[in-house]
């Protein structure tokens, strides 16, 4: 066997898992291969998340916010996020940091190659690439596989967004407060759209136009919404700001369960393994939780696969109900989030969105939203066969 572990895909999930392995004595002599088709030399993303503890990547946090703003046409609030801190990491810093640390370990090899096929034999895993075939005891795959058939019982929403990092001539931003959601935009039927701001100084911020919907827009549409927002809400004319960087992305908000155990020795991880929260698109922190579980399982049980707590499955149902309500246009996402932020503390909301809340908290949140759209969504799910497909 050439390797103990192959990480197919060296993005957020592949590199995170490799970093956790690299830190633990158990993996000291293990041979690891990371296969990645891209150079990963661009700042293609910003990974933002909230935690109430030190994160594994604390050394490379770009900015921390202890306050977030929630804005809606009829409700505005600046909230202390304690005990949580909202944090962001620049993808390029993340890639460079991981690659530097991992290259110091002589047992870790990076391969710039495109993988085309991967599977298990009776005893191990293999992957075929344009630079040869490689074998390992375990293979962790984060290369997304295309979903071709969409089942009617599930939702295939997309979170799509375009953001600009802008520099302004005048002082505009409150660098202590991240704007989590600014819903003061026109809400179209079947879509939920908001602006998301991560200010790093009084003169610099990421300003991102984000939509939960079914179809992505033309680049001109995002640009025009961003320009309107600059003018109408930040009171900035075009000659008063400079676009330093652009971020564009599409995150699948799919509630169809992802297969984690692909075959006996192949485990899907990251977005490909279902780490994305279907109702919000947040993934990065889930990748960290997943990496820890994999490491613990390998050490304690000799296998990376772990059983998910059955009671946690209720969060999949909450995600599906929220997607059903938004898709059936019963209630706009802006109004649902408004009720949540108006009536509940941020730590409760963050726990709920992190799948970490308790049943009493969930009941409090559920009974605070208008019941009819959610009851209807529940019956729609039954009619679509949702409960029988899982």
Ligand X SMILES: Cc1cc2nc3c(=O)[nH]c(=O)nc-3n(C[C@H](O)[C@H](O)[C@H](O)COP(=O)(O)OP(=O)(O)OC[C@H]3O[C@@H](n4cnc5c(N)ncnc54)[C@H](O)[C@@H]3O)c2cc1C
The residues that touch ligand X, with contacts defined as CB under 6 A, are 9-14, 35-38, 45-49, 114-115, 142-143, 247, 249, 251, 270-272, 282-284
- Distance of CA 322 to CAs 152, 286, 319, 337, 364, Å? 16, 20, 5, 11, 16
Least Å distance, CB 25 to ligand X, is 25
C-beta closer to ligand X: residue 9 or 333:
9
Evaluate whether 82 touches 52 at the Cβ level (below 8 Å).
no
Least Å distance, CB 269 to ligand X, is 7
C-beta closer to ligand X: residue 287 or 381:
287
Least Å distance, CB 288 to ligand X, is 10
Least Å distance, CB 32 to ligand X, is 15
C-beta closer to ligand X: residue 304 or 373:
304
Least Å distance, CB 91 to ligand X, is 7
The residues, ordered by sequence, that sit 6+ positions from 345 with a Cβ below 8 Å of its Cβ are none
- Which residue's entry shows tokens 């110091």? 104
Residue nearest ligand X (C-beta atom):
11
Q: How many CA atoms lie less than 13 Å away from 232 in the CB half-sphere?
A: 11
Least Å distance, CB 265 to ligand X, is 18
Q: How many residues does the structure list for the chain?
A: 390
Question: Which tokens in the block code for residue 199?
Answer: 């200010």
Helices first, then strands: H and E counts in the chain: 10, 18
C-beta closer to ligand X: residue 36 or 319:
36
C-beta closer to ligand X: residue 165 or 251:
251
Least Å distance, CB 31 to ligand X, is 19
| Phi, psi (rounded to 5 degrees) for 57 | -105, 35
Is the dihedral angle over the CA atoms 8, 9, 10, 12 positive or is it negative? negative
- Which residue's entry shows tokens 């971020």? 247
C-beta closer to ligand X: residue 30 or 162:
162
C-beta closer to ligand X: residue 226 or 272:
272
C-beta closer to ligand X: residue 11 or 333:
11
Nearest-5° Cα angle at 212, 209 to 214 = 120
In the 3-class helix/strand/coil scheme, how is 286-333 assigned residue by residue? Answer: HHHHHHHHHHHHHHHHCCCCCCCCHHHHHHHHHHHHHHHHHHCCCCCH
Nearest-5° Cα angle at 290, 81 to 302 = 150
Least Å distance, CB 214 to ligand X, is 18
């Amino acid at each position: 066997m050439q390797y103990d572990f192959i990480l197919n895909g060296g993005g957020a999930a592949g590199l995170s898992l490799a970093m956790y392995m690299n830190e633990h004595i158990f993996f000291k002599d293990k041979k690891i291969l990371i296969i990645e088709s891209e150079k990963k030399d661009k700042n293609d993303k910003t990974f933002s998340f909230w935690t109430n503890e030190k994160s594994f990547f604390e050394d490379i946090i770009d900015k921390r916010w202890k306050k977030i703003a929630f804005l809606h046409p009829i409700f505005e609030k600046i909230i202390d996020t304690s005990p949580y801190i909202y944090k962001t990491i620049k993808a390029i810093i993340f890639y460079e940091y991981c690659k530097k640390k991992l290259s110091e370990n002589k047992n870790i090899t990076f391969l710039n190659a495109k993988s085309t096929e991967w599977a298990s034999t009776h005893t191990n895993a293999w992957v075929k690439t344009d630079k040869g075939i490689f074998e390992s005891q375990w293979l962790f795959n984060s290369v997304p596989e295309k979903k071709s058939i969409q089942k009617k019982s599930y939702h295939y929403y997309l979170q799509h967004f375009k953001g600009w990092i802008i520099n302004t001539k005048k002082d505009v931003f409150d660098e202590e407060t991240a704007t989590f959601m600014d819903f003061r935009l026109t809400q179209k039927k079947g879509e939920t759209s908001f602006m998301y701001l991560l200010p790093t100084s009084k003169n610099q911020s990421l300003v991102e136009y984000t939509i939960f919907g079914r179809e992505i827009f033309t680049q001109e549409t995002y640009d025009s919404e961003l320009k309107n927002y600059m003018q109408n809400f930040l009171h900035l004319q075009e000659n008063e700001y400079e676009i330093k960087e652009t971020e564009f992305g599409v995150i699948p908000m799919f509630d169809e369960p992802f297969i984690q155990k692909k075959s006996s020795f192949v485990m899907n991880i990251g977005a490909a393994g279902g780490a994305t929260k279907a109702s919000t698109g947040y993934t990065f922190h889930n990748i960290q939780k997943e990496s820890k579980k994999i490491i613990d399982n390998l050490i304690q049980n000799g296998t990376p696969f772990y059983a998910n707590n059955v009671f946690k499955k209720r969060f999949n149902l909450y995600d599906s109900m929220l997607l059903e309500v938004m898709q059936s246009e019963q209630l706009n996402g802006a109004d649902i989030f408004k009720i949540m932020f108006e009536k509940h503390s941020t730590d409760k909301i963050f726990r709920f969105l992190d799948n970490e809340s308790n049943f009493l908290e969930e009941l409090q949140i559920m009974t605070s939203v208008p019941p009819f759209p959610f009851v209807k969504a529940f019956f729609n799910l039954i009619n679509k066969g949702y409960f029988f497909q899982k």
